[in-house]
Amino acid sequence: MRIAVFTSNQPRHLALIRDLSEVADEVFAVQECNTVFPGHIDDFFPKSSVMQDYFARVMAAEARIFGKIEFLPANVRTLSIKTGDLNLLGIETFTDALQSDFFVVFGASFIKGQLAERLIAGGAINIHMGVSPYFRGSSCNFWAVHDGHAGLVGATIHKLSKGLDSGPMLFHALPAARPYDPFDLGMVAVSAAHKGLVSTIRRGELLTMPTLEQDKTRQIRYSRADAFTDEVAGRYLENLPTPEQIGAVLTSRD
């Protein structure tokens, strides 16, 4: 079995590649690369003291859940490109990857054009870190906690479509109901998404699962990347919910 994954280069993305490599004979990993020191290096997120504080906590939580940057297994072939270059490459660049049995998108930029058409035709699955249709767009789990909806922190496993995070849904992956540091909560949601997806592939269920169309009238927030500012991050850090508060919300969710 061959799996192609379009993803990024942070520890959580590497962890998904490793997990997929355990159920596949060969993995084709197309990685869009950003700095692994967000907030410290001016890249996808700006460099500032507030962002350094925020992302230091993100990185610590990511390391606790997924470990650190490391080499990938021997059955993984990688293509590493700068974020933003994906849609500029010709479709022939991905010839080997497009011969795969499964296609997974997680943390990649918005895929357009011929590549999007080929992936959609191949039944590609997107891991959206946010519970759709309630939270769509960028940094959804941050905004869920920010907006007082910690019970809606999780992931949506859905079919890739031409619209952003709008394809038919297969299932949601949610953290277990217990107290979490707010930064750990988001990473545990990522881990739940990885485990849920890989287990459906292992059991041979992914291609036959029923889907549910998204009801966009239930949307709470559609977030853009530029809405996550120093002011927003600083206010969030000053008003972090406690693990006990998060645990109570998750318990009431169940």
Residue 162 has pLDDT above 90, yes or no: no
HSE, side-chain direction, 13 A CA sphere, residue 89: 18
Residue 186 has pLDDT above 90, yes or no: yes
Quick one: which H or E segment has residue 28? strand 26-33
What does the pLDDT average to over 164-170? Answer: 89
Percent of residues, the chain, with pLDDT higher than 90 = 88
> What's the confidence (pLDDT) of residue 167?
92
Nearest to 15 by CA among 69, 59, 58, 55: 69
Q: What is the pTM of this model?
A: 0.93
What does the pLDDT average to over 163-192? Answer: 94
> What's the confidence (pLDDT) of residue 22?
97
| Residue given tokens 């239930």 in the structure block | 218
pLDDT bin (cut points 50, 70, 90) of residue 164 is: confident
pLDDT bin (cut points 50, 70, 90) of residue 163 is: confident
What residue type is 81 in one-letter code?
I
CA 114 to chain centre: 23
Residue 71 has pLDDT above 90, yes or no: yes
d(CA 3, CA 192): 19
Q: What residues have CB less than 8 Å from 148, skipping those under 6 apart?
A: none
Q: Each residue of 92-137: pLDDT tens digit?
A: 999 999 999 999 999 999 999 999 999 999 999 999 999 999 999 9
- Average per-residue pLDDT in the chain? 94
Choice among 37-46, 92-101, 221-230, 244-253 with the minimum mean pLDDT: 37-46
> What's the confidence (pLDDT) of residue 79?
97
Write down the H helix ranges in the chain.
Answer: 11-21, 49-66, 113-121, 140-146, 182-202, 230-238, 243-253
What does the pLDDT average to over 18-27? Answer: 98
What does the pLDDT average to over 29-41? Answer: 81
The two three-digit tokens of residue 80, written as one number: 């590493």
Q: Each residue of 197-227: pLDDT tens digit?
A: 999 999 999 888 999 999 989 999 999 989 9
Residue 29 has pLDDT above 70, yes or no: yes
> What's the confidence (pLDDT) of residue 222?
95
